[in-house]
Amino acid sequence: MQGDASEFNAFSEMLGDTFDLLHRLAETPQDSEWHAEGNVRIHTEMVLEETYKLLDKDAVDIEPERRLALILSALFHDIAKPLTTRIREFDGRYRTISPGHEDRGRSYLANKLMELRLPYEMTQNILSLVGCHHLHKRLVIKDSPERKYRKLARLTDIELLCYLGQADMLGRTCRDKQIQIEYIDLFRLFAEEYGVWKVSDPYRHWLDFFEAELAGFDEDTRDLVFGNAIRDAEAGKIFTPEEALAKSYQYRDSFPRLVVMCGPSGAGKSSWIHKNIPDYEIVSLDDLRERITGKRENQSKNGQVIQAAREELKNHLRHHRKVVWDATNLRRNYRNMVISFGFDYHALVTLVVFHLSESELFVRNVQRESPVSNEVLHRQLEILEWPDASEAHRLLFIGAEGQCLNFEGGCAKRRFPFPLS
């Protein structure tokens, strides 16, 4: 059985120019023990077919935008396997593996999906489903505690993730298929037991608690206490909001603010900083590079530039200032290095993510006073590791016109934390 090839063909014809990896799925092999059905295209066809069956039966009540998000997630769930598939030897046997294809797929899709001009909530839904589509099964296999389910519910739509997992397992041929499907069923049972099934905000009662207890404090203070509460709860350090409130006495009366930018060259980061947070101190890698080497594009002394930037950042945090780290920060480990400094100094950390289509990025780059080459911009998009809500206290997603697309995290009931004038 090779699934409904006509559906895949229609998508490939319509979207293949934008999502070029669709054309490489047929040439990408899979391990015969896990995917005896054949290559990634065959598997994707089968998953699409199973998705439509679920939408006609178990998932029939899902509203239109979420239905389309599920369908496109099924189409794209293994989109990065052509980039990640390797042959490796394990115990004398050669196996076909695709390590990290979920996260790589999310990052590959991030700017390309913006070309489709979908509702932004749908775009984020697709990205989270593709990036998390194996996590729910792992929670069951590892007998994970409730806090892990709560974190996953914060990162993605649990109900759609469960349906995607079912379609992924039904749309393949393997010896342990029934066991794998049972893992998905167990995940749903645990999600229901832990109160995160069909729940859009798993920390709603915590938010209400802090809104009441911290009513006399400003929004930044409430966001910091609430954000730290979530981080500590998901790390297993606390179990109640009351514990988080007690811990906040040591830092909430005076703390620094750290904004970390994330976006390719030409996305509009520096312009956004000057327009929306002009009172923040700026640590700019480009400025430091020009100061140290004489040229903003000179990469020969990056080690010295990074060290100088770290010392400048720590000095601002130490003195409880408002500071922004202005760099591309496309890789997660680079972002985490800076964000960790913020956490160490009890700073309120906001990650500002610029989410533009690829075509828009290349047009804007040409219009810059100091554009990078197309090759450099292509490389930046290739190394991008798309962020999620667990990286900082707050995430702010910015569009091509500098507008707020979405705001995640934060205690106060508002759309965004900065003027965006």
Residue 18 confidence (pLDDT):
97
| DSSP designation for 371 | P
* Each residue's pLDDT tens digit, 307-331: 889 999 999 999 999 999 999 999 9
pLDDT band at 284 (very low <50, low <70, confident <90, very high): confident
Domain containing residue 325: 257-409
Q: Is 308 exposed, middle or buried (CB count within 10 Å of its CB: 0-12, 13-18, 19+)?
A: middle
Tokens (6 digits) for 279 = 């009172």
For residues 294 and 175, membership in a common domain is answered with no
- What is the overall mean pLDDT for the chain? 93
Looking at the structure, tell me whether residues 173 and 31 fall in a common domain.
yes
Domain count, the chain: 3
Are 35 and 120 in a shared domain? yes
Residues 6+ apart with CB under 8 A from 150: 194, 196, 202, 203, 233, 234
At how many degrees (to 10) do helices 158-170 and 64-76 cross?
A: 40
DSSP string, 249-291: GGTTTS--EEEEEE--TTSSHHHHHHHH-TTSEEEEHHHHHHH
Residue 65 lies in a domain: yes
Beta-sheet pairing, 322-326 with 394-398: unpaired
Q: Which residue type does 394 have?
A: R
The reply to whether 419 falls in a domain is no
Q: What is the pTM of this model?
A: 0.94
* CATH number of the domain that residue 358 is part of: 3.40.50.300
- Both tokens of 421, joined, read 């004038």
Q: List Cα–Cα distances, 305 to 110, 142, 269, 270, 283, in angstroms.
A: 29, 42, 19, 18, 11
> Are residue 107 and residue 20 in the same domain, yes or no?
yes
Distance CA 62, CA 56 (A): 10
Residue 3 has pLDDT above 60, yes or no: no
Q: What does the pLDDT look like over 158-198, one tens digit per residue?
A: 999 999 999 999 999 999 999 999 999 999 999 999 999 99
Map tokens 């981080």 to a residue.
231
Q: Give the residue among 83, 103, 115 at the shortest CA–CA distance from 16.
A: 115
Residue 199 falls inside a structural domain: no
Which among 385, 371, 372, 317 is positioned nearest to 111, based on CA atoms?
A: 385
Is residue 208 located within the same domain as residue 276? Answer: no
